[in-house]
Structures are given as C-alpha cells and as structure tokens.
C-alpha cells in the first residue's frame, strides 16, 4: 500500500502521508465482545488491525500547513512484526517538493505521542525543531494538561513541546480558530479534552482532517463504539456535528489512523466509509 496520496482541490494541494502502521487490538480498544463483532469486520477483530499514522500536508498560495507531525518511534505494544515503515515524514514531504522550512503552521490534532513526536529531532546531542519556522497550534485543554510532563526532564513532552515553548512557537487554541479563509481549526473534544479537527475549503470542495474522532472504519458504521480511553458522551457530540457537516458538504475525509482519504456515505439508515479512489 502506498504511503503517500496527493489530492488537488482548486489551488490547494493535500498530501496524505502515512508515517508507518501500528497494530490496534480492536476488541480491547473498543470493548467489543465476540458476540457483538460484526461479520463484515471479522478479520479486523480476529487479530490486531493494521492502522495508519497519517500526517496531512495542506499547501495553498502563501500558506503551508501540516496537520500532526509523527515519527515512527513506537513501544512494543503497538509494533507490527516484521514490518518495515515507509520513509519518514520529512522524506515524504520532499517527494512532493516541500521542505521543512516551508511549513508555516502545524496543527496538532491532540497530544497523544503518535501525533506530535516528530515535532523535534536530535542534532548534535540537542533536540531541535524539525520545522523551524512553524507556529504549532494545540488545543488549550491539551496544552494545559501537558504542563506537568513538559516540566519532567527526559519526557517526550519536554523534548518536543518544551523545546518549542522556549522558542515561542506554541499557540494554544481555545475553541475554533481560522488560518486565513481556507483553513479552519475546529474544536472536537472527546478523544482528549483539547482534540481538534481541521476543515479545508478550496475549489468549491470541502476536506476534513478529523484526527482520532475514529480509529477504525468500524466505528463509523457502529458509532456507539469508541475507544475505552475517550470521553464517549463528548466524543459522540463531536462525531455527530462532524457527520452532519461532512454528509451535507459531500466532503473528503482523512482520519489519522485510516489508510488514505475517503468519504462518508449514508447506507440503510446508517453511515459507512467509502475509500477515495486514487488518481493514476
């Protein structure tokens, strides 16, 4: 499966970049018993599902945005056996002609490690920004919750968020926030209190980057299910708002842990995922 997909929306160019797959035990994560598991997703429940870790590049005239910044650096609980990850985020950006210095803004969907651990890298024994000119937008509730970890030496948060904080590159976002006319940050709590999604409006079309509103397409078809660590009543509200808008706008959708882009479709009174066909 290709790790890079490019989508054109008018003047906007969108790159869906999978930085590497993880193993997700759906039954455990969703708390679904064998009797509840739908036959059409039997293979996904039979063994750990292989899910993507997507970062999204949005390029517009005068504006270069990255949604999430991941590095394939995992503990064993998420590792896939005998798996070779694709080229890293910066290498895949280079494939579409984008340098780290060109990124103006990074929107972090939420502060789980696989969405922000690529913000910095080691250079000469020091952690330095991987995207040196970018302002990093983080949901305020997540930012406040991260403070004790930032103050803990040798934590991931200290090596990433702490470094950027010292350089004045963190922008806590309270509620919704616009980056020009085309790109909006939308509060969508549930996965974490400060979880954010991104809406792109370009070329008469709409595209959403929805982070971890879902972790697998089974949750789209069975919206009563959600990961055990989420605040599900709040997640359900965020999902409902998104689904209503995405269906009305016939939007393209990118989910952090689903391979490639897709769209939502109403089927038999419910909603299902339809993978967007890749152009030749």
Residue 211 sits at φ, ψ, to 5 deg, of 55, -125
Give the model confidence (pLDDT) of 111-169 as tens digits: 999 999 999 999 999 999 999 999 999 999 999 999 999 999 999 999 999 999 999 99
> Domain 4-275 is in which class?
alpha beta
**Is the pLDDT assigned to residue 280 strictly greater than 50?**
no
For residue 81, the model assigns a pLDDT of 87
Across residues 60-64, what is the average pLDDT?
97
Q: pLDDT above 70 covers what percent of the chain?
A: 98
**Is the pLDDT assigned to residue 14 strictly greater than 70?**
yes
Report CA-CA distances (Å) from 234 to 111, 208, 224, 262.
Answer: 17, 19, 12, 24
**Residue 250: pLDDT band by 50, 70, 90 thresholds?**
very high
């Amino acid at each position: 499966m290709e790790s890079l997909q490019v989508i054109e929306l008018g003047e906007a160019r969108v790159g869906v970049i999978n930085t590497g797959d993880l193993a997700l035990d759906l039954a455990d994560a969703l708390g679904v018993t064998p009797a509840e598991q739908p036959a059409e997703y039997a293979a996904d429940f039979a063994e750990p599902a292989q899910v993507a870790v997507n970062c999204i590049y949005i390029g517009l005239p005068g504006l270069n945005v990255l949604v999430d910044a991941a590095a394939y650096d995992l503990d064993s609980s998420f590792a896939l056996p005998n798996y070779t990850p694709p080229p890293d985020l910066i290498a895949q950006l280079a494939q579409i002609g984008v340098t780290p210095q060109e990124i103006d803004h990074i929107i972090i969907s939420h502060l789980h490690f696989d969405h922000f651990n690529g913000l910095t890298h080691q250079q000469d024994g020091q952690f330095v920004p991987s995207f040196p000119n970018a302002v990093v937008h983080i949901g305020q509730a997540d930012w406040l919750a991260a403070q004790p970890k930032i103050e803990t030496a040798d934590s991931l948060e200290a090596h990433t968020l702490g470094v950027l904080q010292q350089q004045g590159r963190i922008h806590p976002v309270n509620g919704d926030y616009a980056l020009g006319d085309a790109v909006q940050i939308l509060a969508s709590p549930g996965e974490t209190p400060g979880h954010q999604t991104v809406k792109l409006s370009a070329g008469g079309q709409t595209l959403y980057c929805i982070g971890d509103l879902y972790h697998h397409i089974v949750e789209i078809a069975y919206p009563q299910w959600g990961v055990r660590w989420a605040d599900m009543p709040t997640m359900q509200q965020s999902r409902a708002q998104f689904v209503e808008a995405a269906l009305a706008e016939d939007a393209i959708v990118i989910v952090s842990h689903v391979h490639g882009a897709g769209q939502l479709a109403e089927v038999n009174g419910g909603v299902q995922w339809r993978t967007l066909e890749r152009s030749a």
